[in-house]
Amino acid sequence: MPYLNITEVESALTSLATAYPTTSHLLTLPEPSIEGRTAHALQIGAPAGTPRACVMMIGGVHAREWGSCEILVHLAADLLEAHQNGTGLGYGGTTFTADQVGGLLQRLDLVFFPLVNPDGRLHSQTVDPMWRKNRDPANSGGSADPNCVGVDLNRNYDFLFDFATAFAPTATPQVSASPCDPQVYAGPSAFSEPETRNVRWLLDQYPRTGWFVDVHSYSEDMLYNWGDDDNQSIDPTMNFGNAQYDGKRGLPGDVAYAEYIPKTDADNAALLAERFCQGVGGVRGRPYKPLTGFHLYPTSGTSDDYVFSRHFVDGDQGKVLGFTVEWGTAFHPPWAEMRNIVLDVDAGLVAFCLATT
């Protein structure tokens, strides 16, 4: 099949919820997109009387990364069908038994939100294939420049949003305060966009979420916290919330700042990222790499760091380890190759979920 359009992504979720009524539940996100589109997510899992630990997976955030939606829709369908039929799953050289699939859906709630940015995907698929942002014109100032439309949704979360204050003057975080930046404009304020507020709402609906994966392309990596600086597990006062360190973040290998992460969390995140990469590699040998987000490039306002930061900011929030998949080596690989990438990443995600404890 070719890449899905936005109607087909939504129809796929509705069809799965209809076909598997006892093991799936369709969720309507509360805020329509800028152009008035309603988004949906799908929760899957064996029937349970009480809430379970949850793995949340989102995709379709950056409009031009077309295959992310397909990866999540395909995985949800695979798990539901295998569970119902009592079978395992095979992705090339990576296989999972029926007991593993059944146990996964007994132990976890899995929440899939495959199309966060429907307006942007439509624009990318019909007008500008390399479009990345959403389609919010509110901050364009009436400019005729089409680049001045839209916000990079993966810079719009509430984590070091005031990057000009947070980062060292010589740091180079991949984020911009200019509405006319065609790639990484963060927006006027954290959560200014309905699409990111929908993700926050979904997290609030599933307070037992322990793991969060945002599916992107490209570079064949599995990123984990943190993205603003190198990690350290020695000094808990050296952290994103401490204004004493403003103006010092974002420089690799320096002694002025490194982001605090408890050692247990750092070890768990690295292990899960490695398990994902092993699952991918077993399909056809693609060498995905586990690394912290900072070692790709410094960032602020990203989903993975926001979800992990929540329990530091508010002790009543559960701890959520944040991850970002960077699949493939192109934004729009030919469909024959994208079909293989879907198998790669789905195998990695099943291996990841099995490794959660």
pLDDT of 253 over the 70 cut? yes
pLDDT at 157 over 90: yes
Contact (CB, 8 A) for 99 and 166? no
Measure the CA angle with vertex 217, ends 248 and 32; round to 5°.
90
| DSSP assignment string, 240-275 | TT-GGGTT-BS-TT-SS--EE--HHHHHHHHHHHHH
| 3-state secondary structure at position 104 | helix
Neighbouring residues of 138: CB distance < 8 A, sequence distance ≥ 6: 34
What range does the domain containing 90 cover? 6-355
Per-residue model confidence (pLDDT) at position 270: 98
pTM as predicted: 0.98
Cβ–Cβ < 8 Å for 66, 124: yes
Q: How many distinct structural domains can be found in the chain?
A: 1
Structure tokens at 22: 């006892």
pLDDT of 237 over the 90 cut? yes
Residue 312 pLDDT level (bands cut at 50, 70, 90):
very high
Domain-located, residue 1: no
What would the 3-class secondary structure string for 52-84 be?
CCEEEEECCCCCCCCHHHHHHHHHHHHHHHHHH
Tens of pLDDT, residue by residue over 71-84, are 999 999 999 999 99
Answer yes or no: is 157 within a domain: yes
Q: Does a structural domain hold residue 230?
A: yes
pLDDT of residue 313: 97
Looking at residue 81, its pLDDT comes to 98
Query: Residue range 102-117: average pLDDT?
Result: 97
Specify the pLDDT at position 144: 80
- Is 69 within a domain? yes
What pLDDT, on a 0 to 100 scale, did the predictor assign at position 357?
A: 86
Does residue 145 lie in a domain region? yes
Question: Is 48's pLDDT higher than 90?
Answer: no
Q: Is position 29 within any domain?
A: yes
Percentage of the residues of the chain whose pLDDT score is greater than 90: 95
Confidence grade of residue 1 (pLDDT, cut at 50, 70, 90): low
pLDDT of 165 > 70? The answer is yes
Is residue 274 a part of any domain in this protein? yes
We report the CATH number of the domain holding residue 318 as 3.40.630.10
pLDDT(113) > 80: yes
Place of tokens 């530091």: 312
- Given a cut of 80, is residue 267 above it in pLDDT? yes
Q: Is the pLDDT of residue 44 over 60?
A: yes
Q: Give the separation between CA 215 and CA 55, rounded to whole angstroms.
A: 13
**Does residue 124 lie within any of the structural domains?**
yes
CA distance 91 to 342: 9
Average pLDDT, the chain: 97
Which run of H or of E encompasses 339? Answer: helix 335-355
